[in-house]
Amino acid sequence: MKNHFIDESDKPLVSIITPTYNQAKFLAETIESVLKQDYKNIEYIIIDGGSTDGTLDILKKYSDKVFWISEKDKGQVDAINKGLKIAKGSILAYLNSDDTYYTENAVSLAVEYLINNSHIGIVYGKSVYVDEKGQIIGYYNSYEFDYEKIFSECLNPVPQPSTFIKREVFEKIGFFDDKLCYAMDLDFWLRAGLFFQFGYLPEILSTFRLHSESKSVACIAKAAPEIIYIYKKIFRNPNLPNDLKNKEKEIMARVYLYSAEQYFSGNSWKEARKNFIKALRLNVKVLKLKQYIKFIFSLMPIIFKPFWGIIKKTHAK
């Protein structure tokens, strides 16, 4: 098993990590999108969590072009961090096993940007949503990175598969938080943004696949408590600017509102209701009309609960 590493001394080495687990139907497409890059100084590392669906057959096919490990791990974040710890590149990225690079010059564009903008720690581009068949179904809402706006409004304009990170960022803030499963990217951007500038490339660099098995689709409500955890952690960070610390109540109201809507979308009515109430307690003006309607719907189980026993008895007769 060899690294896909062609030495070009005048070009920085880019290490790309792909974490995977039972994603055989998409994995080859992901691998090919990396190997077809016109930038050749790439170290490609695939960390498999012990797949049982034919993934190993695919990995063996590419053994002369990628470095791979297949063993039990603690999940996606553990796999990513494991790959990052053995990576040798000065620029690092991770590409999930159901995503791809959109163009053959995606890596070249990112490297060129980082070389020409030495003050930038992280560069990201645009991304398109695709379905299981690879058909474009939408566009990720990406735009220039503004830390205050992003943090204050609970936004994430950074599409992870289109992101390339200098090694010094990891050396400064550490790896991805292994307590997280769904929102580790947002956590990393918010921590990194306290020390490093982000650069934005208005070019489509990746595809972001949405399908029934993807975490983005299947586990929308599970991200909600992680968002709250992330913000509480950032507010304890001594490097957070005072003007943002002074807005903690206002910002946390938006965080609870965001979490409430995530729970609502995942049909977790009780948790949605709890978080709507927490948001209102911090800022009564935080809810807009559409969100008030969702809040009212989340109250329905409470409103109709006293009548539910009567309805059941009536139908039983």
- In the chain, what are the domain boundaries? 14-218, 222-316
Per-residue confidence band for 300, with pLDDT thresholds at 50, 70 and 90? confident
Contacts of 289 (CB under 8 A, 6+ apart): none
Q: How do strand 42-48 and strand 67-70 relate by DSSP bridges?
A: parallel
Task: Specify the amino acid at residue 37.
Answer: Q
Q: Which residue has the higher pLDDT, 175 or 302?
A: 175
Tokens of 220: 């929308």
- DSSP designation for 80: H
Phi first, then psi, for residue 241 (nearest 5°) are -55, 145
pLDDT of residue 35: 98
Q: Give per-residue pLDDT as tens, 266-294.
A: 888 889 999 999 999 999 888 888 888 88
Tell me: pLDDT of 164 over 80: yes
Contacts of 11 (CB under 8 A, 6+ apart): 39, 40, 41, 111
Per-residue confidence band for 304, with pLDDT thresholds at 50, 70 and 90? low
Mean pLDDT of the 32-51 span: 97
pLDDT of residue 302: 62
Place of tokens 């503004």: 146
Task: Characterize 42-77 residue by residue with b for buried, 16 or more Cβ atoms within 10 angstroms of its Cβ, and e for exposed.
Answer: bbbbbbbbebeeebeebbeebeebbbbbbeebeebb
Query: What count of Cα atoms within 13 Å lies in the side-chain half-sphere of residue 81?
Result: 18
Tokens of 127: 């991304």
Q: Which of 70, 32, 77, 74 is nearest to 54 (CA)?
A: 70
Task: Specify the amino acid at residue 152.
Answer: S
Tell me: pLDDT of 192 over 80: yes
Mean pLDDT of the 58-73 span: 95
Tokens of 74: 């603690």
- DSSP designation for 160: G
pLDDT of residue 271: 92
pLDDT of residue 312: 44
Phi first, then psi, for residue 295 (nearest 5°) are -60, -45
CA distance 270 to 222: 14
Q: What is the four-CA torsion angle of 308, 291, 137, 224, rounded to 10 degrees?
A: -80
pLDDT of residue 281: 95
pLDDT of residue 90: 98
Residue 29: other Cβ atoms inside 10 A: 15
The mean-pLDDT minimum among 7-16, 99-108, 248-257 falls in: 7-16
Question: What is each CA distance from 182 to 36, 225, 245, 263, 301, in whole angstroms?
Answer: 29, 10, 25, 14, 28
Q: Specify whether the CB–CB gap between 224 and 139 falls below 8 A.
A: no
3 state DSSP class of 101: strand
Tell me: pLDDT of 4 over 80: no
Place of tokens 């307590």: 179
- What share of the chain has pLDDT > 70, as a percent? 89
Tokens of 308: 């539910």
Q: What is the CATH number of domain 14-218?
A: 3.90.550.10
**Dihedral-angle region of residue 54 (phi above 0 means left; psi in -120 to 50 means alpha; beta otherwise):** left
Q: Which residue has the higher pLDDT, 113 or 53?
A: 113
Q: Give per-residue pLDDT as tens, 21-34.
A: 999 999 999 999 99
pLDDT of residue 202: 97
CA distance 257 to 264: 10
Q: What is the pTM of this model?
A: 0.89
The mean-pLDDT minimum among 48-52, 118-122, 285-289 falls in: 285-289
Q: Give per-residue pLDDT as tens, 11-24.
A: 999 999 999 999 99
